[in-house]
Each structure stands twice: as C-alpha cells, then as structure tokens.
C-alpha cells in the first residue's frame, strides 16, 4: 500500500515544499483519517508494517490513519530516503513567484523533467538538510541540495529493496506513507514505468494505492481504494499544486 500524505499547509498555498517540514491542514488531517477508514474497510488486508519519511506531514498522516484503523500499535520505520523530492532554491516559493523569477518554460522543465533538477540550495543556507538535526546520522555528502525525480528513484529504491521488500516477500502487508515524488519513484520501480511516462503520474493525497503482488513482487493488479472517481478528481487537484 502506498499513501501520499494529506494536504499540507504549503500544498494549500501552492508553494514548493520539498524537504521543508510543514504540517497538515485540517483538510489534510481529514484526508488521513479517511485513508485509515478505507484501509480498515479492506477485510482481506492485514497491515503489519509501516514505513514513512522523516517529514512531519507523512509522520502525522501515518499516525492519524493508523488510529482510524485501530492499529496505532503497529511498528513504524522512518527513513529520509522516503522524503519528498528536494526542490532546491525553489523551496518556499509559490508557483506564480517562481515563474516570474525564472520563467514559466524553465520552471515547467524543472517540475516535469525526469533528469532536470532546479537550482541548488546553498550548503550554508540554514534550511539545508545538513543543518537539520534529524539528518545527523546521514553522511553529509548524501544529503541533497536539489533533486530531479531520477535522484529520488536512486535513493528510494535501495530502501525499498533493503527494508520493504523482505517484509513483502515474507507475506506481510506493508503500508508506506510518503510523498508525491517518493511514491512516484516506488511506483516506477514496481510497475516498470518509463522515464517519460512517470513524470505524468499524479498521486492523489490521502487515497491509498493498493498493489496485489505475486511471489516475486511482480504487480498483478494496482488500484486506489474507494471510489475511482474520487481518486481521479484528487489526482487532477494535485496536478495544480506545487510539490
């Protein structure tokens, strides 16, 4: 199960968020609770393990969803490798402001180019992850100043293979609560989506994406829980937001 966190305050404001640690809005909290209800309604789904990023909006989404499922006691493992894509110097900027500063065509390339990162955040910037205590155990050279989607794939897939795949191969149901781009990275890997096609996959907030996997983790089926029309509308809304 892949679940994008509920709406954050900067999602609502249309600002590039990336690794900036903003919280959920009330709407985001409601989305997280709804996601938990959808998961609880799956009578054949026995979630045993949970993985999240280190960002509050994913952590709280998982907590709220698990409470709605009656499974707040489940073990949770967190990793920076499931964080959102780092948007570099764009973090904190709104879409209109960004287009005015850098040009609409350039910004479109950064948002939709698989291998095109935005301008980097300076390493001496207080907002750089190397200055954040939660990443103290991560080698400084591994912490990004900016990322393209290909970079997110490169860091997220090893985590999937090392931490998540063994649980799946053992027959356990696993819930991953993360972000639009880290979920894109996992979906690309699981579904063998091309570099060109993956950038157009919109991940709706607060709607679990369920995978039916075979013994070798091949995808037999994938779908969103709940009403498919609700998922489609939510995906369209996400397309209008910054990351």
Terminal C-alpha separation, the chain? 21
Cα gap 81→100, rounded to integer Å = 32
Given 13, 29, 84, 128, the catalytic residue:
84
To the query of whether residue 84 is one of the catalytic residues in this protein, the response is yes
- Would you call 78 helix, strand, or coil by DSSP? strand
**Packing angle, helices 104-112 and 95-102, rounded to 10:** 120
User: Of the listed 5, 51, 128, 179, which one is catalytic?
Assistant: 5
**139-171 per-residue burial string, b: 16 or more CB within 10 A, e: under 16:** eeeebbbbbbbbbbbebbbebbeebbeeebeee
Among 170, 129, 124, CA closest to 146: 129
Cα–Cα distance measured from residue 211 to residue 214, given in angstroms and rounded to the nearest whole number: 10
Can you tell me whether residue 210 is helix, strand or coil? Answer: strand
- Per-residue tokens: 232: 């489609």
The torsion defined by the Cα of 20, 183, 60 and 224, in degrees rounded to 10, comes to 140
Q: Does 5 participate in catalysis according to the annotation?
A: yes
- Active site residues per annotation: 5, 84
């Amino acid at each position: 199960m892949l679940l994008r966190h509920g709406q954050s305050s900067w999602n609502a404001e249309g600002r590039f968020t990336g690794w900036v640690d903003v919280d959920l809005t009330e709407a985001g909290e409601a989305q997280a609770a709804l996601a938990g209800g959808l998961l609880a309604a799956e009578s054949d789904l026995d979630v045993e393990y949970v993985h999240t990023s280190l960002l509050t909006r994913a952590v709280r989404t998982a907590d709220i969803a698990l409470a709605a499922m009656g499974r707040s006691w489940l073990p949770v493992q967190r990793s920076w490798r499931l964080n959102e894509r780092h948007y570099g110097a764009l973090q904190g900027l709104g879409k209109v402001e960004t287009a005015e500063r850098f040009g609409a065509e350039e910004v479109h390339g950064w948002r939709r180019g698989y291998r095109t990162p935005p301008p980097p955040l300076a390493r001496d910037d207080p907002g750089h992850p190397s200055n954040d205590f939660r990443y103290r155990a991560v080698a400084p050279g591994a912490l990004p100043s900016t990322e393209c989607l290909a970079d997110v794939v490169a860091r997220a897939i090893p985590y999937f293979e090392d931490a998540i795949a063994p649980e799946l191969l053992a027959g356990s149901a696993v819930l991953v609560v993360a972000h639009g781009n880290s979920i894109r990275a996992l979906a690309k890997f699981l579904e063998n989506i091309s570099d060109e096609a993956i950038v157009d996959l919109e991940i709706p907030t607060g709607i679990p994406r369920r995978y039916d996997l075979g013994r070798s983790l091949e995808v037999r089926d994938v779908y969103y829980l709940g009403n498919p029309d609700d998922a489609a509308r939510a995906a369209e809304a996400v397309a209008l937001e910054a990351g």
